[in-house]
């Protein structure tokens, strides 16, 4: 998806990914050639890496960090694509934090 995105800036958020999955992304993205420029795809990519062994609060914050970075580049006039992998792990983190705060879960079990 990132390779063929028509955006000038790509923000990739690895939320709760296994360490080896993020390593794969860090190894593969520099090797992928950008069809727009012929250079490395990393030249227009921002990676936010949050692995599954990091605290749950950091998992929640990683998505918001990616959104903030994307909004910054948008405000600078760039077209931006944001990709979050995995939003289900983000939802699990939100549910875990909500449970620790003794909040009532939503109808579907997620806050």
**pLDDT above 60 for 110:** no
Name which of 72, 10, 64, 67 is nearest 37 in CA terms.
10
Q: Which residues contact 57 (CB under 8 A, 6 or more apart)?
A: 93, 97
Task: Give 90-102 pLDDT, tens digit per residue.
Answer: 677 667 777 777 7
Task: Give 7-57 pLDDT, tens digit per residue.
Answer: 899 999 988 777 788 888 888 888 888 877 888 888 888 999 888 888 777
CATH topology of domain 9-100: Rossmann fold (3.40.50)
What is this structure's pTM? 0.75
Q: Are 75 and 38 within 8 A, CB to CB?
A: no
Task: Give 60-83 pLDDT, tens digit per residue.
Answer: 888 889 999 999 999 999 999 998
């Amino acid at each position: 998806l990132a390779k063929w995105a028509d955006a000038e800036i790509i923000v990739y958020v690895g939320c709760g990914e296994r360490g080896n999955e993020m390593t794969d992304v860090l190894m593969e993205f520099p090797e992928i050639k950008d069809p727009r420029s012929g250079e490395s795809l990393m030249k227009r990519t921002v990676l936010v890496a949050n692995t599954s062994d990091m605290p749950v609060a950091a998992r929640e914050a990683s998505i918001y960090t990616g959104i903030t970075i994307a909004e910054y580049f948008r405000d600078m006039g760039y077209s931006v694509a944001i990709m979050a992998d995995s939003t289900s792990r983000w939802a699990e983190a939100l549910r875990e934090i909500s449970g620790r705060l003794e909040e009532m879960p939503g109808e579907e079990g997620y806050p």
